[in-house]
């Protein structure tokens, strides 16, 4: 039986991959464009496993080889692979309006407000039509638009545009000025090991929201600046409701991994990266 050990291991690994595949849980471990490689490896492991098991392949089993079972145990105990929203505070983030500045360079907030208002006030909120918001954030454009609208200075051209977005709340105080929080999902490039919070900045104000809970918000982009005078866009929330997280995809990927890979839902905004 010791000679069959490697064959059994290969078959078990293959079985785990098939299980994750057919239960539609691969998306919780790998980006869509990477899943094909794991699917191919499942068939390869199955063939190799049966070949070893039914051949006269000789293998000198050692007790230390039991370590090969550890990845299987991890896969079995990992559940569906979904990260808890509480992990967002310990992951990297695309939210980066750092407010650190030397003490002597700080500007008195009252004098700044007299020179330039932190944000444009909304006097007639009823005029905003959210039946067709300018930015209707879907999974296929989530990561690209979140990165652009929080990183790129050219995004200021979208001041006063309406937006609808769904996600969970993350209060990463080390990256956000006081009074602001993030709403987003986990952005994934290759696999969930590189997952980081990807989202949008919202002004908390008197909103009745809790960290790690899921919400759908509708609002309008306004401009603010950090203590180092760096302008950034934030969402002034007009409408908000709590949503059921079980019906939401927790991970989002670059637009080219969805559909036909043409990123049409992003291209229509004519984003300026230079």
- Over 221-272, what HEC string results? EEEEECCCCCEEEEEEEEEEEECCHHHCCCEECCHHHCCCCCCHHHHCCCCC
Residue % of the chain over a pLDDT of 70: 74
Two tokens at 90? 């310990």
Domain ranges of the chain: 2-77, 85-267
Query: How far is 79 from 98, CA to CA, in rounded Å?
Result: 36
3-state secondary structure of 220: strand
Please tell me the CATH code under which domain 85-267 is placed.
2.40.50.140
Query: CB–CB of 225/231 below 8 Å?
Result: yes
CB-hemisphere CA count at 13 Å for 23?
A: 12
> Mean pLDDT over residues 122-126, rounded?
48
pLDDT attached to residue 124: 46
| 191 pLDDT tier (thresholds 50, 70, 90) | confident
Tens digit of pLDDT for each residue in 56-113?
A: 766 666 777 777 777 777 666 666 566 666 555 555 555 655 543 333 333 344 444 4
> Mean pLDDT over residues 12-29, rounded?
85
| 263 has a pLDDT exceeding 50 | yes
Q: How many CB atoms lie within 10 A of CB 66?
A: 10
pTM, 2 dp: 0.71
3-state secondary structure of 22: helix
pLDDT attached to residue 78: 62
Tokens 């006097």 correspond to 123
Return the top range by mean pLDDT from 7-11, 66-70, 143-147, 244-248. Answer: 143-147
| 36 has a pLDDT exceeding 60 | yes
CA 204 to chain centre: 20
Helix ranges (H only) for 70-194 are 70-77, 109-115, 139-151
> Mean pLDDT over residues 188-215, rounded?
87
| 213 pLDDT tier (thresholds 50, 70, 90) | very high
pLDDT attached to residue 16: 86
pLDDT attached to residue 61: 66
């Amino acid at each position: 039986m010791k000679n069959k050990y490697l064959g059994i291991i290969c078959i078990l690994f293959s079985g785990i991959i098939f299980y994750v595949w057919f239960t539609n849980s691969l998306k919780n471990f790998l980006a869509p464009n990477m899943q094909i490689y794991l699917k191919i490896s499942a068939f390869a492991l199955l063939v190799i496993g049966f070949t070893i098991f039914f051949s006269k392949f000789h293998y000198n089993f050692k007790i230390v080889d039991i370590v090969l079972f550890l990845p299987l145990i991890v896969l079995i105990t990992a559940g569906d692979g979904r990260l808890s929203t509480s992990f967002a505070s310990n992951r990297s983030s695309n939210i980066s309006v750092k407010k650190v500045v030397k003490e002597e360079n700080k500007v008195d907030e009252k004098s700044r407000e007299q020179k330039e208002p932190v944000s444009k006030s909304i006097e007639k909120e009823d005029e905003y039509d959210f039946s067709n918001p300018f930015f209707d954030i879907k999974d296929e454009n989530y990561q690209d638009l979140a990165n652009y609208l929080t990183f790129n200075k050219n995004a200021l051209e979208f001041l006063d545009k309406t937006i609808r977005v769904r996600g969970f709340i993350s209060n990463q105080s080390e990256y956000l000025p006081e009074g602001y929080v993030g709403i987003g999902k986990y952005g994934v490039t290759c696999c969930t090991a590189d997952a980081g919070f990807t989202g949008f900045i919202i002004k908390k104000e008197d909103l009745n929201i809790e960290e790690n809970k899921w919400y759908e918000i509708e609002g309008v982009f306004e401009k603010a600046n950090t203590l180092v005078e760096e302008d950034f866009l934030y969402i002034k929330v007009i409408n908000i409701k709590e949503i059921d997280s079980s019906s939401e995809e927790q991970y989002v990927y670059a637009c080219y991994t969805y559909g036909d890979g043409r990123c049409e839902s992003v291209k229509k905004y004519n984003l300026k990266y230079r």
